[in-house]
Amino acid sequence: MPVSVPDHPAYPVGLRLAGRRVLVLGGGTVAQRRLPALLAAGADVRLIAPEVTPSVQAMAEAGELRWEPRGYRAGDLADAWYALIATDDPAVNAAASAEAESARVWCVRSDDAEAATAWTPATGRSEGVTVAVLTGRDPRRSAAVRDAVVEGLRDGTLTAPRHRGRTAGVALVGGGPGDPDLITVRGRRLLAEADVVIADRLGPRDLLDELPPHVEIIDAAKIPYGRAMAQEAINRALIEHAKAGRSVVRLKGGDPYVFGRGMEEVQALAEAGIPVTVVPGISSAISVPAAAGIPVTHRGVAHEFTVVSGHMAPDNPGSLVDWAALAGLRGTLVLLMAVERIGAIADTLIRHGRPAGTPVAVVQEGTMAAQRRVDATLATVADRVAEEEIRPPAVIVVGEVVAVAGGGEDGAGER
Ligand SMILES: C[S@@+](CC[C@H](N)C(=O)[O-])C[C@H]1O[C@@H](n2cnc3c(N)ncnc32)[C@H](O)[C@@H]1O
């Protein structure tokens, strides 16, 4: 007879299933949900079921498991280390679990937790930590606790500093456009683990207030650099802190590689022999228009978008931008760092053929509390920017996508 002692908690253990036979009986949604974790653990899965879901079939076809399309037969448990019994026939489940009991194979049952010899915890992983939660009879609560712990580890709100394997170095983190919710979970976790944060003016500055008092926060704009270039001074600060054994986050606005000089920092650190991790970020080029209701592409309207730096006027000999070619495109132009030179840029685009009536939207401080949008056309944008006293940071979107959701100079206007 199975031994059932419901008042005792389960004894937690981590099974190392790699290369070991696991029998899965039944190919429905329960199996489908459990199989990925078994496969990720490297288990040698043998699946016995007359029918399976399309996803399970795809796993079998991909060679991830061996599927025998038939029903359970006595003896199927013989060479298994562990079993998942999940057919929709209670009599089959009972017979298979009786065999598991006598063969001393730990077995999970989908239909009767009390009759099972093992329970599947709610599990999740974050950066090498496996979280497994068992509450006994309340799987929803297990899942909620698991979610809270995994989420906390991921976003750094649950601080669990590494003691082994923690390497001093620099993480170049793209912080997104400014709203603190728009940094990646990896970026947020690295920020929570940092000893030193060197931050730009743009990006999620609100997150800096949440850091514990021992974290040194350095404003990149205020690093004293004397006669040297500002970027060199930042590189030097990154290298010095990392060499002192600190874990350094270089927090940048948007994505580090979109007009962010990210690669220059990576190269300087590589030359100094310092390990660097680059964490991509949500670029303002896409997210700021989106926050103002503008899609950078739209079916039947724009099949391309081009992100352009406007930090040099079109007639500047140092400019690498082919404004004449851009004027010939029909798609969306997204201009960054262009507020001060928008008059010259708009004139150049019109002169080279982009219609003067092309809708334009200027979005200042996108995704932040002070966000505002001003609508214009190529012909009027310079005046509108001056009248509305638009200041950087702003993203300027040129193209018909601006009018898709009812915007445009005659549409929604400033909002
Ligand atoms: C030096 S570039 C850095 C871009 C950044 N790496 C990115 O991917 O978003 C700075 C420009 O990004 C744009 N920008 C960044 N954040 C913004 C925001 N929240 N609202 C509007 N424009 C923003 C502005 O055009 C600003 O002048």
Q: What are the pLDDT digits (tens) for 234-258?
A: 999 999 999 999 999 999 999 999 9
* Residue among 213, 169, 207 at smallest CA distance from 191: 207
Given the residues 44, 155, 179, 200, select the one marked as catalytic.
200
Cα(194)–Cα(168) distance, integer angstroms: 9
Residue 295 and residue 199 in contact, taking contact as beta carbons nearer than 8 Å: no
Residue 309 is which amino acid? S
Per DSSP, 221 falls in state G
How far does the centroid of ligand 1 lie from the alpha carbon of residue 283, in Å? 7
> Strand pairing partners for 309?
336
> Strand pairing partners for 176?
254
Residue 85 and residue 61 in contact, taking contact as beta carbons nearer than 8 Å: no
Phi, psi of 29 (to 5 degrees): -70, -30
How far does the centroid of ligand 1 lie from the alpha carbon of residue 254, in Å? 6
Q: 326 to each of 94, 297, 313, how far by Cα in Å?
A: 70, 16, 14
How far does the centroid of ligand 1 lie from the alpha carbon of residue 252, in Å? 10
How many CB atoms lie under 10 A from the CB of residue 356? 12
Enumerate residue ranges in the chain where pLDDT < 70.
Answer: 1-6, 160-167, 224-229, 408-415
Phi, psi of 388 (to 5 degrees): -90, 0
Q: What is the largest CA-CA distance in the chain?
A: 89
Residue 295 is which amino acid? P
Residue 24 and residue 84 in contact, taking contact as beta carbons nearer than 8 Å: yes
Cα(400)–Cα(326) distance, integer angstroms: 15
How far does the centroid of ligand 1 lie from the alpha carbon of residue 319, in Å? 19
Residue 252 catalytic?
no
CA atoms within 13 A on the CB side of 21: 14
Atom of ligand 1 nearest to the CA of 203: 16
Q: 371 to each of 162, 175, 296, 364, how far by Cα in Å?
A: 38, 17, 18, 6
Token pair 């993480």: residue: 171
Q: 100 to each of 1, 109, 263, how far by Cα in Å?
A: 12, 11, 57
pLDDT at 57: 96
Residue 255 catalytic?
no
Atom of ligand 1 nearest to the CA of 285: 9
Atom of ligand 1 nearest to the CA of 366: 20
Residue 183 is which amino acid? I
pTM of the model: 0.75
How many CB atoms lie under 10 A from the CB of residue 233? 15
Cα(188)–Cα(181) distance, integer angstroms: 9
* Residue among 253, 239, 246, 187 at smallest CA distance from 216: 246
What contacts 56, CB < 8 A, 6 or more positions away? 27, 31, 32, 35, 47, 49, 67
- Ligand 1 is surrounded, with C-beta below 6 A, by 177-178, 202, 253-255, 258-260, 283-285, 288, 336-337, 363, 365-368, 392-395
pLDDT at 412: 45
Q: Does domain 21-120 have CATH number 2.40.110.10?
A: no
What contacts 231, CB < 8 A, 6 or more positions away? 261, 264, 265
Helix spans in 81-166 (H): 90-103, 139-155
pLDDT at 203: 85
Residue 174 and residue 187 in contact, taking contact as beta carbons nearer than 8 Å: yes
pLDDT in tens, 384-402: 999 999 999 999 999 999 9
Tally helices (H) and strands (E) across the chain. Answer: 12, 17
Q: What six digits make up the tokens of 114? A: 């009390």
pLDDT at 166: 57
Q: Assign a CATH topology to domain 285-403.
A: 3.30.950
Residue 254 and residue 174 in contact, taking contact as beta carbons nearer than 8 Å: yes
Cα(155)–Cα(159) distance, integer angstroms: 9
User: Would you report the helix, strand and coil content of the chain in percent, each value rounded to 5?
Assistant: 30, 20, 45
Residue 193 and residue 165 in contact, taking contact as beta carbons nearer than 8 Å: no
Which architecture, in CATH terms, is 169-282? 3-Layer(aba) Sandwich (3.40)
How many CB atoms lie under 10 A from the CB of residue 370? 8
Strands annotated E in 32-100: 44-52, 66-68, 82-85
pLDDT at 129: 85
pLDDT at 414: 42
What contacts 82, CB < 8 A, 6 or more positions away? 15, 17, 20, 22, 23, 43, 105, 106, 107, 118
Please state the domain extents for the chain.
Answer: 21-120, 125-155, 169-282, 285-403
